Amino acid sequence: MKMRVNALKRHLLGFALFFGLGATFTCAQTTTAQLKISQLDEAFEKYREPAITYRRFTHADLQPLIQKHSDQFEVIPLGNSVLGKSISSLDWGKGETKVMLWSQMHGNESTATMALFDLFNFLEGKGDQYDTFRQLLNSQLRLKFIPMLNPDGADVFKRRNALDIDLNRDAISLISPEAVVLKKARDDFEPEFGFNLHDQQIYYNVVNTPKQATISLLAPAYNEATEINEVRGRAMQTIASMNQLLQELIPGQVGKYDDAFEPRAFGDNIQKWGTSTILIESGGLVGDPEKQEVRKINFILLLDALYTIATRSYTQYTTEQYFAIPDNGIQLMDLLIQEMQVPLNGNWYPIDLGIRRREIEGKGGYSFVGSVEDLGDMQVFFGLENLDATGLQHKEGKVYPKSFKSVKKVSMEKATELLRQGYLAIHVKKDVVKEMHSLPLVVLKLGSKFSGGWTTGAVPNFFLTKDGKFEYAVVNGYLVDLDRPSTEKLRNRIY
């Protein structure tokens, strides 16, 4: 993760002091600044929690990790979930400024949780160039971390809790025990700052641009009028500081979340109750499906934010800088096909096709299912992958007439050969059809019918041809160039 230096000189001056990199910046000290930036990267690699390598993990997975930190953190039982799983906080620091951070309010939003365990390792480290920085945080801040607020949702990797309630809409009624835990933790601790840590859809973009909103930030409103008081203003100033660093990490990929007041939401109410609240939403990053790079961004961003709060350096920033952050849009598609010709009643019509792929949970892991999200004039949308299909015609695919014992009996070369002959699907024995596979084919059990199409809601399974030649296959929403088939592994829909 390489960052440009010039725009960060003022922002990173304090960091450099605490990392022992000298007391002043001059043009001649650019190398020193670069060393400091590389140290942030090195800190992540050194202190990254090795027990977590994927974004799906359970409450049970975290318990030994929490106990690992019980010597240097105060582990406090806060309560239990609907299904009786423990919810704990980890407290650290001796300072006067209280900061509370909570993650995985939604069970399938785990990016920040991973980063918190990296941060725990960092904070309890010693004997390296980060000691002075740790001492600063320890002397100025008192931190309370709640790494997994919704363990029941996390165990099945679903947004809602076991009551099927969205915890972020339960701040007032407090129907769920998890909501009671969070409310009581805030009231007992009375933090000056709060960090509400979430994940957002990968289809969020920086509005009217093709760039994913990898990180979105918000100082939630505390009333319908979205007014700014001292409490919300502090959150805005801190976000403006965070954005300056983010623009070096992920230029142009930072959005501002919608601040419409939601009277049932925890972020809005915690702001209302007097805690300067900052929402961090972790979105997508191309080539990072398990969000390990976004995890690193969270780690660096949280360190930066805690330093900003510890030194009160957020006062150098303005609410105008906060409002200058562009808004979120939701204009991204996994695949955008433009100007493909589709047949109807003997005529051909040029349409754009927007395709998204959703995760589906299964016993053997998770897979993806593609769906036609919208079609027609899609010029206000952007594709993570794009195809100009001018001159290409839609053609339905066929099922290969011979069945296979297992998907393992079909090589990638054989699959490509079948596609070039116009076959999109194969049959395999019923007892092995649930095997995960990476073939660019639809796999059906014996006797099952093949479906697919280009209309809204359909699973996008079809060919694109030119002068009778099969140029492209679209299989479960994945694009396969038949002249240059990719060896990238895909998880296709299991029928």
Question: Residue 445 and residue 465: Cα distance in Å, rounded?
Answer: 28
Q: Which domains does the chain have, with CATH numbers?
A: 6-329 (3.40.630.10), 332-481 (no CATH)
Binned at pLDDT 50, 70 and 90, residue 182 comes out as very high
- Whether 15 shows a pLDDT value over 70: the answer reads no
Name the residue with higher pLDDT: 489 or 205.
205
Binned at pLDDT 50, 70 and 90, residue 126 comes out as very high
- The confidence score (pLDDT) of residue 485 equals 77
- Has this prediction a pTM greater than 0.85? yes
Residues 92/93/94/98 CA torsion (nearest 10 deg): -90
Question: Residue 424 and residue 419: Cα distance in Å, rounded?
Answer: 6
Share the mean pLDDT of the chain: 90
- The confidence score (pLDDT) of residue 3 equals 40
pLDDT above 70 coverage of the chain, percent: 88
- The confidence score (pLDDT) of residue 10 equals 41
- Token duo for residue 276: 């300067």
pLDDT in tens, 343-393: 999 999 999 999 999 988 776 678 889 999 999 999 999 999 999 999 999
Give the 3-state DSSP-derived string for 197-226, with helices as H, strands as E and coil as C. EEECCCCCEECCCCCECCEEEECCCCCCCC
Question: Residue 98 and residue 139: Cα distance in Å, rounded?
Answer: 11
Binned at pLDDT 50, 70 and 90, residue 29 comes out as very low
Name the residue with higher pLDDT: 31 or 255.
255
- The confidence score (pLDDT) of residue 41 equals 84
- The confidence score (pLDDT) of residue 37 equals 60
- The confidence score (pLDDT) of residue 293 equals 97
pLDDT in tens, 445-479: 888 899 999 999 999 999 999 999 999 999 999 99
Amino acid 209 reads T
- The confidence score (pLDDT) of residue 361 equals 79
Nearest to 277 by CA among 290, 288, 268: 268
pLDDT in tens, 53-91: 999 999 999 999 999 999 999 999 999 999 999 999 999
- The confidence score (pLDDT) of residue 384 equals 96
Strand order in the sheet with 276-282: 74-80, 86-92, 141-146, 97-103, 193-199, 276-282, 215-218, 254-256
- Token duo for residue 422: 């116009």
Binned at pLDDT 50, 70 and 90, residue 484 comes out as confident
- The confidence score (pLDDT) of residue 7 equals 40
- Residue at token pair 């906060």: 322
Distances (CA, A) of 205 to 93, 111, 215, 454: 37, 18, 10, 25
Distances (CA, A) of 415 to 296, 394, 409, 441: 37, 20, 10, 7
- The confidence score (pLDDT) of residue 408 equals 85
Question: Residue 14 and residue 47: Cα distance in Å, rounded?
Answer: 22
Binned at pLDDT 50, 70 and 90, residue 30 comes out as very low
- The confidence score (pLDDT) of residue 407 equals 85
Task: Tell me the mean pLDDT in the region 38-55.
Answer: 92
